[in-house]
Amino acid sequence: MPTIKDVAALAGVSIATVSCALSGKKNVSHVSRVKVMAAIEELGFIPNESARKLRFRTSRDVGVLLTSIDDLYHSEIFKGITSVIQAHNLSVNIGFSNNLPQTEIETVHDFISRNFVGIILISCIADNVKYFETILSRGIPMVFIDRRPPELDVNFAGISNGKTITFLVEKLRERGYRNISLFCGNPRISSESECAAAFKELLPAEEGSIYYTNMSKEDAFRTSLMAFYQDHKPDAIIATSENITHGILESASVLGNLLQELRIISFSEETWINNRYLPQTIHTSRPAFTLGAGAARLLLENINSPEPLEKKTLLLDDNIIHTGMDIPLFKPRKNKTETRDAGELNILMLDNSLTDALRILVRKFKNDYGITIHIDMEKQDKLPDKIIKSDRHDIFMFDIPWLNYLVQNGCLEDISDFITGDRNFYNSIIKENLSASMYRDRYYSVPYIGGAQILFYRTDLFENPLICKDYFSMTGTKLRPPRTWQEFNSVARFFTRNYNPHSPVEFGTSCPGNTAEELCPCIYNRIWGFGGTFFNGENHPQFDTANNRRAFENLIDLQRYTSSPLFETGLNDTVRDFYQGKTAMLITFTVFASTIMEAIHQDISGKLGFTFVPGKTPISIGWNLGINVFSPKKERALSFFKWLYQKDVNYYLTILGGQSTSVYPYENNELLKLYPWMQITMDNFKYARKRITSHKKNSIIIPWNRIEDIIYANTRRMFEQQDMGGCLEDINSEITELMTVYGHFRGNN
C-alpha cells in the first residue's frame, strides 16, 4: 500500500511538501502541486487525514453510499443498515452519488481518508473492476449491495432478480399475456443484466422486448414514450424499479389513456400499503429492510474479525415468489374510441430531433383540444423556399435570421396582441428568446428552440494530474478550460496526437464548416473575441482590420488540431467525434447537449464538463414558429401556441430533447440535476449575440444567406492559402455591392 513517503519520493519533493499540498495549510508552488498530484495518481495513493490519530483512538464510523436520495427501495435498505449499525454503537455516514461516477469515487475516497471502519455501497460503477481492485487492496471491509463487481471476490448482498423475472413472466403467460416488455437499467449493472438474461431465456424476440434506461424516471419516460409512439403497445410491462415505473405511467398518460389496456408490474419494496404511490400498478415485495440489515451484519463480521474472512454472498428472494401474486386475466384490447374532432392544423418544420419530440407530444394536444396536428418536415436548405411558396401550412418553423425577410414578404401574421394580452403566457417565455420574435416592435412568432454555444470538455482529461503535469511542462501554464481563443488553440494542439504523441485522444477538437450556416458562427465568435467588427458607424462593411485578421488566423491555425478538414465536417460530425471520445473539447449549441450527455453516460460516463465559450462570445441560435398570414385557422394555431407553453409540455420537451424556450424547466431542480448545462444557460444569454445581418432602417431586407455566402466563399479562399488581405477586401466590396442592390446605399457610397 503506497504511503506519503512513496508519493514524496516519486514526486521528488519533501514529505512536508506533500502534506501541505494535501492539506492546503501552506502555499505550495503550482509546479510542486502538479508533481504531487501526478505521483498520487500514478501510485493510487489515498490520503488518510486520521492516520496520526489512530494510535490514540479507533474510528467508529461506517460509510454508506447510495445512488439516489429519491429511490424508495434504497431508502428501505438504508433503514435496515442503520438499525443494525447503530445498535452496535457505530455511527452511520451517508453519501449519494446521484449516479455520477466521479461523485461516487470522491465519496469513497472521502470515507477512506476519514478512516471509516467499513463501507456499504450501491455502486453506479460496479463494472469498473480496476478501480475496485485498488480500493479493495487497502483491506477496508466493504459490502456491495445489489450491484456486484464482475470477476472480483467481494462481500455481496442482493435480491435474486432472475428468479423474480422468471416467476413474473411465467405468471403473466399463465394469465394469457403474450406481448410482454421488460424495462430495466443498464445491462452493465449486475442486477439489471440478471433480469435481462432471465427474460431473454423465457421469451423469444417476437413475444418479448427489452428496453434499457439509465433508471431515472425521466429516461424511462423518454424510452417508453418512443416505444408507445411507434405503435409497440405491449399487453404487460415489467419494470425493475419504481423510478422506471413512474416514467412509464407518465408517458402512457401523455399519449392517451393507455393504462386501462396496459398491465404494469413494478419491482418494489416490502410494505403494507404499496398502492399509495403507484396506482394501477402491481407491485413485487422485495425485502429491502432485511437486505440492508443483512448487509450491515455481514460488514460487522468483517470489522470485528482479527483476520480477513472469506467473502460471503447473501441472496434474498422477492416475497412474491413464496406468497404468490394476483394478476388479472388478460383481456383483448377494445376497439379504440375516437376522440372529439375539432379540426386540424398543418405545420411545416425543420427535420431535426426536436421536431421528432413534438410529433410525439401532439398526441397530447389532440387529447386536450381535439385538434389533429399534421407535421411535414423539410431539410434546412430547402425549408426557406417551401415556406415562401406554401399555401397549405398554417404554421411555419423558421430560423431567427429569416424573420425580417419573411415579414417583409408578407408571410407571417402579427400576433402581438396574443403574446402581450396574457401576462402569465408572456412571462412563461424566456425574454431573450422572445425578443428574437420581434420585427419593428411587433411580435410575429413564438420561440420554439433557443440557446447559444457553450464549451463542452472532458473533465477526466482536464483534471488528470499526469495530463496536467505534461501540459505545464509543454506550455508553462496551468491546464484549464480555455478562456481565450489563443488558449483554445493551445489546448487543442496539446490534445492532438500529431503534436503530442502522449495525448489520450486523437484530436483537440472538431469544427463544422461544410456549409456557410455552420462555419459562420465559428468566424463570428472569434471576431468578437478578438475585438473585431463587421460594419463601421456608417453601416459599411469593415472586415479588413487587424483584429479581424487575427480572428481568421486563429481559425485557420485551428484546422491542424481538428478531427477532419473544416469544409468536410458537419455539426453532427463534431458532436459524434466528441461523445465517442475522439476529441477533448467541443464548442456547439445547447440543442445538442442532451445527445452528448446521453452518449457520454454510455461511453465515458461522468466525464463531461461545460462552461462559456472562450472570450464569452457565443452566438445565439433560435428557431421560431409563426402563423401563415393566409391561414384560415389562426385561432386553432393560437391555441396550439398556448398549449406549447404549458408547464408540463415544456418539461416533456426538455426531457425528450434537453431544450425549451420556457422558463419552467430552468426552475425545476430535478431537471437541473438531470441536465446540468441548463444551470449556465440563463447567464450565457447575457453574452450571446445574433448572427450578422444588414440593419439599415426602412431598407429592403437582404435574404438571410446572401451575406454569409460571401463570407464563406472568401474564407475558403483563405484556407486555400490565398492572400488574406485580398480576401477580406473582397468581402467588403462584395457585401457593399449587395447592399447597394438592395437600396442600402445610394450609388457607390
The pLDDT of residue 303:
93
Residue 426 CB partners (closer than 8 Å, separation 6+): 419, 420, 434
Backbone angles phi, psi at 11, to 5 degrees: -80, -15
pLDDT of 185: 93
Residue where the block lists cell 444588414: 694
Number of domains in the chain: 5
Q: Taking the CB of residue 294, how many other CB atoms lie within 10 A of it?
A: 23
Whichever domain contains 206, its CATH number is: 3.40.50.2300
Classified as helix, coil or strand, 722 is coil
Q: What interhelical angle do 129-136 and 101-113 show, nearest 10?
A: 10
Give the per-residue pLDDT at 588: 92
Question: Is there a single domain that holds both residue 213 and residue 116?
Answer: no
What distance lies between CA 207 and its chain's CA centroid?
A: 33
526 and 434 in a common domain: no
Taking the C-alpha atoms of residue 266 and residue 269, their distance in angstroms, rounded to an integer, is 10
What residues contact 501, with CB distance under 8 A and at least 6 apart? none
Residue 252 lies in a domain: yes
Q: Residue 139 — left, alpha, or beta (φ > 0 → left; ψ -120 to 50 → alpha)? A: left
Q: Give pairs for 332-339: CB < 8 Å, separation 24+.
A: 333/261, 334/261, 339/256, 339/366, 339/367, 339/370
Q: What is the pTM of this model?
A: 0.81
CB 260 within 8 A of CB 233: no
User: Dihedral of the CA atoms 640, 642, 643, 648 (nearest 10)?
Assistant: 150
Q: Are 738 and 539 in contact (CB under 8 A)?
A: no
- The per-residue pLDDT for 1 is 61
* Residue 418 shares a structural domain with residue 446: yes
136 close to 1: Cβ distance less than 8 angstroms: no
User: Beta 620-627 vs 395-399: how paired, if at all?
Assistant: antiparallel
Domain boundary among 681, 706, 730: 681
Residues 467 and 435 in one domain: no
Is 56 among the domain residues?
A: no
Neighbours of 731 (CB within 10 A): 24
Of the chain, the end-to-end C-alpha distance in Å amounts to 79
Identify whether 686 is part of a domain.
no
| Same domain (yes/no): 510, 594 | yes
pLDDT value of position 22: 67
Query: Which candidate, 402, 398, 392, 384, places its Cα nearest to that of 355?
Result: 398
What is the per-residue pLDDT across 77-127, written as a single tens digit (0 to 9) for each? Answer: 999 999 999 999 999 999 999 887 878 888 998 898 888 999 999 998 888
pLDDT at 749: 46
Instruction: With a cut of 50, list the residues of the chain below it in pLDDT.
Output: 49-57, 276, 604-606, 748-749
Residues 193 and 66 in one domain: no
Same domain for 67 and 183, yes or no, is: no
Range(s) of the domain holding residue 186: 161-285
Which one-letter amino acid corresponds to residue 687? Y
Residue 569 lies in a domain: yes
Across-strand partners of 121? 65, 144
Written as one string, the DSSP assignment of 88-117 is GT-EEEEEE-TT-HHHHHHHHHHHHHTT-S
CATH number at residue 386: 3.40.190.10
Residue 534 and residue 632 share a domain: no
Residue 246 lies in a domain: yes
CB 583 within 8 Å of CB 531: no
Q: What pLDDT digit, counting tens, does each position of 66-77 carry? A: 988 778 899 999
Same domain, yes or no: 474 and 519? yes
The helix (H) or strand (E) run that includes residue 626 is: strand 620-627
Are 512 and 587 contained in the same domain? Answer: yes
Lookup: cell for 674: 438531470
Distance CA 128, CA 137 (A): 15
Residue 77, in any domain of the structure: yes
C-alpha cell at 372: 389533429
C-alpha cell recorded at residue 365: 394536444
At residue 605, the pLDDT reads 42
Buried b (16+ CB within 10 A) or exposed e, 620-650: bbbbbbbbbeebebbebbbbbbebbbbeebb
Determine, yes or no, domain membership for 626. Answer: yes
Q: Is there a domain that residue 336 lies in?
A: no
Q: Are residues 214 and 248 in the same domain?
A: yes
pLDDT of residue 697: 61
Q: What is the CA radius of gyration of the chain?
A: 30
Rounded CA separation 85/116 (Å): 13
| DSSP-derived 3-state class of residue 458 | strand
Q: H or E stretch including 609?
A: strand 608-611
Residues 447 and 378 in one domain: yes
If DSSP states are collapsed to H, E and C, what string results for 196-209? HHHHHHHCCCCCEE
> DSSP states of 189-257 as a string?
SHHHHHHHHHHHHHS-TTTEEEEE--SSHHHHHHHHHHHHHTT---SEEEESSHHHHHHHHHHHHHTSS
Dist CA 59 CA 563 (whole Å): 52
CA distance 248 to 228: 10
| Cell numbers that stand for 448 in this block | 420554439
